[in-house]
Structure 1
Amino acid sequence: MIRILVLAGAATLSASLACAQEPIVGTWKTASGETAQIAPCGSSYCVTLKTGKFAGKKIGTLAGTGATYDGEITDPKSDKTYSGSGSLSGNSLKMKGCVLKVLCKSQTWTRL
C-alpha cells in the first residue's frame, strides 16, 4: 500500500513539473502600448504581437530558462531582424535588440 502511494505521489510530482511553464510565457504590454504574447514553439519561445497595426506578426524567437533568454528580435516597422535577448525581473521583461552586439536598443515590457 505504501509503495502505491509513493508511486502515485512521484507520478503526480513529475506531471506537475512537466506542465510548469517558463516565467517568460504569457501576455506582455510593450513599450509602445501594444500587447505581445510569448508562447512555447518547438524548443524555444515565439513572440507574437496581438494588438496594434502589426497584430498577428511574429516578432521574435527566444530560447533559455529562468531569467535570461537569447535569440532574435524583429522590428515590425522596418522588418529587420536583430540579435536579441530578454531578461526577467519580477513582472518586467527587458527586451534588447543589437546590431553586431555593439549598437543596442532596449525597452521594458510589463506582464499583463
Structure 2
Amino acid sequence: MRRVLLTGIALLMAGGAALADPIEGRWKTKSGNTAEIVPCGGQYCITLKTGEHAGKQIGKFKPESNGQYTGTVTDPANDKTYSGKGSLSGNSFKMGGCVLGGLICRNETWSRM
C-alpha cells in the first residue's frame, strides 16, 4: 500500500510539472541579460536576473490563446510602463511595448536558455 501511495504522489508531482506554461523559465534578452518568467497571481511576472537592472520586475503578462500574451512592459532604465504583447514560438519569445494606442512600439525577441 505504501508503494502505491508513493507512486501516486510521484505521478501527481510529475503531472504538475507538465502543466507549467511554456512561457515559464529563463530567457536571454536582446541585450544579453537573463530574465526569468514565473507565475504570479494568475499572470506571469518577468524579472531581470542579470545586468545593470538585475532584480527589477519588467513586465506582467497573462495568457490569451495559442502562445499569445497581453499585459504590461516596464522600461528598467526609466521605470515607465507601457501596454505590452508577447507571442511564443518554439524557443523564441517576441515581446514589445506600445504607446499612443499602439502607434509607437518597440519589440524584442528573446531566446530560451
Fold conserved between structures, TM > 0.5? yes
SS in 1 for 2:15: helix
Structure 2: segments with no counterpart, 5+ residues: 1-7
Partner Cα separation in structure 2 for residue 78 and residue 54 of structure 1: 11
SS in 1 for 2:78: coil
Query: Residue 108 in 1 paired to residue 109 in 2?
Result: yes
Across the aligned residues of Structure 1 and Structure 2, the Cα RMSD in angstroms comes to: 2.2
Query: Residue 45 in 1 paired to residue 44 in 2?
Result: yes
User: Percent identity of the aligned residues?
Assistant: 56
Per the TM alignment, residue 20 of structure 1 is displaced from its structure 2 partner at its CA by 1.0
Partner Cα separation in structure 2 for residue 29 and residue 17 of structure 1: 25
Q: For 1:12-51, list aligned pairs within 5 A.
A: 16=15, 20-51=19-50
Partner Cα separation in structure 2 for residue 90 and residue 97 of structure 1: 21
Partner Cα separation in structure 1 for residue 102 and residue 87 of structure 2: 16
Corresponding residue number in structure 2 for 1:61: 60
Per the TM alignment, residue 19 of structure 1 is displaced from its structure 2 partner at its CA by 5.5
SS in 2 for 1:24: coil
| Deviates most, 99-108 or 46-55 | 99-108
Partner Cα separation in structure 2 for residue 18 and residue 34 of structure 1: 26
TM-score, with structure 1 as normaliser? 0.83
Corresponding residue number in structure 1 for 2:85: 85
Partner Cα separation in structure 1 for residue 16 and residue 52 of structure 2: 37
Structure 1: segments with no counterpart, 5+ residues: 1-8
Per the TM alignment, residue 18 of structure 1 is displaced from its structure 2 partner at its CA by 7.8
Partner Cα separation in structure 2 for residue 31 and residue 19 of structure 1: 28
Partner Cα separation in structure 1 for residue 94 and residue 51 of structure 2: 20
Partner Cα separation in structure 2 for residue 105 and residue 77 of structure 1: 14
